[in-house]
Structure 1
């Protein structure tokens, strides 16, 4: 194997949203320095069509760029390769193709991998990156019945977008979309699932690339962006569509069947048996760090991610981490917590880029204000969904109250209040309240004088607080 050396000031590993955001910020702050981004796939993912819904809440789409013969920008070179060894004492990484890359600062943005219910089964799919979605799309076309396990964003998106197939959705909770919603919001979404027809979709041209088998649980491609499900057709081979939701249920057994009508037989904890063409495992992710050996072990967080401080620095000198691979190890702000979402991947990647540049220049830097308030904007079941602060009462114990405004088929607004102050918000639909709610949470204003009128539709709260 031919070996040759490369020297770079900044080395970023990972072509997902975190890695690309990191590279863009380093490039902006250090335009004269050499920056190298290593990605395992043929594609890198960049944020595009950024739209500010408030001062901190932002929605965006993800653009896929082909690596071959291209640069991220004038200052960033992109290398299609994979890291197989990190030698922190030498400030060097070894790649699969035999390259030795010497760096001054390294940032690991290797993301996460799906927690598959069963490894190595070709009829169990994990949805994580573009290739897995395209393979899933092809599989659905010839299928009549599938089982989806999980109750988060990806599971909800798949269930809503599927057509012409018999779907069995297995959720461990008593309501759907528990990662982002509460029982009231789940009921609001439920009517959308019952619609017989959905809006038409534009044709989406996506580049295809090769990666490791998705049945291995070690996907190489970057994570899906927030728009994937809105532009891709996933229709099955049946003429009619049906959905059955199995609440408070888990998978107790998976059996591969030969010479049967369906290749899989799924047994649920309620003893119901479901023969199916395949199963989609959407039960969360694990930080993806085990595939990169290091000479010095990283200090890990409680969730198994690389523990980082507020500057996104790991326990190993001059090595940073951002996105799904890391675990926030600093004293968190009252209204912020970590979730492995593309929104935070972008924020962490940008913070890591600025931190590396500041350390290189020996300049002081402070943590970005975005880490003062949890924010996330997405689309579920055809609605815009904005989450702010402790939107489901996270960390507030039992001592809080909820105010709701619910207009069927139009909007769902939930305020989480504690001691008269707004602590968290769920906004579903085009409410226009994003910036006002940001200000109310961050300012900690006492809203007791307004009582329940704070969500009275006849009271325009924007006029009071903007």
Structure 2
């Protein structure tokens, strides 16, 4: 049997590895456009179905399976009748079963959003050249964000930018906001509250309070650091005592031990580094240090300004243009020259002017775009049926309309889930890409869905179990966020409002927590947990067991209530 898997992301790598494990006698070919693959390295088990993933990058030749062939290339088409995958360089790979895990592309602003305004008085040729120059400059400073963007590239683009506009309201945008410390941020979203895809208004308000507290703490830290620096400068102005002079002279002479240990040697750091970690769930934690390092500074230097976050609800970007020399943005006065100027103004780089659909105008040095993704399937022939969301329409066995073609991850649309899974729905996430890839491998190989004792740790959870209950663990604003079941009322729109109830709880303290539970006719359907609540397993069981807890009412969330007694 010849298995071919397209895609070097989480879904493709997990599918190929699982095929190699369950069908060691068969040939498995993994096709990836890059030599760097993305895989699951570590999984922290929080409950029976809930796992926190850690992603890493691996080289194309690192996967240790003897029956695995690696092909670097770009998929360009499929000969469905001849069962061949066509590559961009003309190669043809025969297959018996093909799994498409080609990922997704970030959505872009429409071309009409970029406005170039050549100065009057130019010739037609000069005006066209100037128009092209401005459009190129606009596109260069609008960075499209996808979870696979490297932190280093993003940090390099942030260099010198004081004012940043973040466009979007999904997971990437939420993570970006917490990573842009020291920047003035305008957060532009078309929804009525933050994190609309993840949270209701109560949870969104809780996270906004967290964001405000973080900014206040940063301001206090900056003030403390500045005060300490002033004290140190005063101390330095005093003449040193004879004892301090002797100590300073001793510090200037390195000991033999420090020389033997290589103290201070740059060769000890990173000399053997080949690849860094993939941009997984905690990628934003590296964003600020990387951005500062790109400027040749330190985190302490960058913290001299905390920055603010302004939110623009219910609007989108209508157009982006460069502010010409001496130009004045409408309805918003320019800042006078001085310390408040952005690096772009000080360095002569013209700021960007964003006009929103609300009519408001916003200045920025850089625009970070995170407005969603679309499956990258333009190379797949139209004979393979699509779903309304753009993914390949699949049956319960991850097969497309062509029985020899399977799909997983962003390429897949699990249309069957709505009728077969009460508490699972599709959302294009790392965790679902992993479970889909493993399950697709089982379907392609025709094996019973079960975890083998020989399976690596990141494949222990049964793939079928992953479709029983929606689970996701991530971090927003540095806080752990757990989503279980129909946490935001997904697929419950047609239920009578009188049959539904929601209870929320905020626990104050050094580590604030938020719990929101959604019930339908007395049975838990979904839960949002923010912070370290240690309630993941309990609510997972309540959703899976569908116990009637209506008798407890809001007491279900009382910190003193013993939830374990519900199962007695």
TM range (shorter): 0.7 to 0.9
Corresponding residue for residue 404 of structure 1 = 504
| Distance in 1 (alpha carbons) for counterparts of 2:274 and 2:311 | 31
Q: Is the 8 A contact 1:163 1:235 kept in 2?
A: no
Per-residue deviation, 1:132: 5.2
Choose 225-234 or 24-33, whichever is displaced more: 225-234
Among 520, 524, 527, the residue aligned to 1:425: 527
Out of 487, 490, 495, the residue aligned to residue 394 of structure 1 is 490
Aligned equivalents of 1:451, 1:343: Cα separation in 2: 32
Say if 1:71 and 1:78, in contact at 8 Å, map to a contact too.
Answer: no
Residue 276 to residue 318, structure 1, CA distance change in 2 (3 Å): same
Residue matched to 1:105: 97
The equivalent of 2:19 in structure 1 is 26
Cα separation, 1, equivalents of 2:14 and 2:417:
24
- Distance in structure 2 (CA, Å) of the matches to 1:225 and 1:331: 26
Distance 1:442 1:88 in 2: 41
* Equivalent residue for 2:77, pick from 61, 85, 91: 85
**Are 2:417 and 2:425, in contact at CA under 8 Å, matched by a contact in 1?**
no
1:321 alignment counterpart: 407
Looking at structure 2, the residues matched to 320 and 303 of structure 1 have their Cα atoms a distance apart, in angstroms, of 17
8 Å CA contact 2:149–2:279 kept in 1: the answer is: no
Is 2:406 aligned against 1:312? no
1:357 paired with 2:445, answer: yes
Query: Is 1:250–2:312 an aligned residue pair?
Result: no
SS of the residue aligned with 1:176? coil
Distance in 2 (CA, whole Å) between partners of 1:346 and 1:176 is 27
Structure with the larger strand share: 1
Q: Counterparts of 1:122-201 in structure 2 under 5 Å?
A: 122-131=140-149, 133-194=151-212, 195-196=214-215
Q: Which moved more, 1:235-244 or 1:17-26?
A: 235-244
Q: Which residue matches 1:218?
A: none
For residue 63 of structure 1, report the CA deviation from its aligned partner.
1.0
Residues 311, 367 of structure 1: 8 Å contact kept: no
Q: Aligned to 2:38, what secondary structure does the other structure show? A: strand
Higher alpha-carbon deviation: 223-232 or 331-340: 223-232
Assess if the C-alpha contact under 8 Å between 2:33 and 2:72 holds in 1. Answer: yes
Write out per-residue CA displacement over residues 148-204 of structure 1, whole angstroms, 9 at most, x where no aligned residue: 1111110010011112222110122232122212211122112332223569xxx99
Q: Which runs of 5+ in 2 are unaligned?
A: 112-135, 222-268, 296-301, 327-344, 451-461
Q: Work out the CA distance in 2 between the residues paired with 1:364 and 1:141.
A: 49
Aligned CA-pair RMSD: 2.6
Shift of 1:305: 0.8
Distance 1:348 1:207, change over 3 A: same
Is residue 10 of structure 1 aligned with residue 32 of structure 2?
no
Q: CA deviation at 1:230?
A: 2.6
In the alignment, is the contact (CA less than 8 A) between 1:85 and 1:94 conserved in 2? yes
Q: How far 1:130 sits from its partner (Å)?
A: 3.9
1:105-128 Cα distance to aligned partner (Å, 9 max, x none): 110000111111245822221111
Equivalent of residue 280 in structure 1, options 356, 368, 371: 368
SS of 1:416 mapped into structure 2: strand
Which has more helix, going by share of residues?
2
Distance 1:225 1:312 in 2: 25
State the partner residue of 2:284: 229
Q: 1:270 to 1:342 in 2, by over 3 A?
A: same
Residue 257 of structure 1: how far off its partner (Å): 4.4
**1:53, distance to aligned residue in structure 2 (A):** 0.9
Q: CA deviation at 1:76?
A: 2.3
Aligned to 1:232, the other structure's residue is in SS state: helix
Counterparts of 1:422 and 1:264 in 2: how far apart (Å)?
Answer: 48
Q: Distance in 2 between matches of 1:139 and 1:371?
A: 39
Q: TM-score, normalised by structure 2?
A: 0.72
Distance 2:65 2:208 in 1: 44
* Aligned length in residues: 437
Structure-1 separation of matches of 2:472 and 2:12: 19
Q: For residue 95 of structure 1, report the CA deviation from its aligned partner.
A: 1.4
How far is 1:42 from its partner? 2.4
- After TM superposition, where is structure 1 displaced by more than 6 Å over at least 4 residues in a row? 203-206, 363-367
2:475 to 368, 374, 379: 379
Select 2:49's aligned residue among 56, 60, 84.
Answer: 56
Shift of 1:463: 4.3
Please give the secondary structure, in 1, of the residue aligned with 2:543.
helix
Using the size of structure 1 for normalisation, the TM-score is 0.87
Map of 1:300 onto structure 2: 386
- Deviations 1:327-364 (Å, cap 9, x if unpaired)? 11214212111111111111111110111111xx7x79
Residue 53 to residue 70, structure 1, CA distance change in 2 (3 Å): closer
Distance 2:553 2:208 in 1: 30
Cα deviation code 1:1-55 (max 9, x no counterpart): xxxxxxx711100011111111121112111221111111221011122011111
Pair 1:346-2:430 in alignment: no
Distance across 2 between alignment mates of 1:206 and 1:272: 46
Which blocks of at least 5 consecutive residues in structure 1 are unaligned? 1-7, 210-222
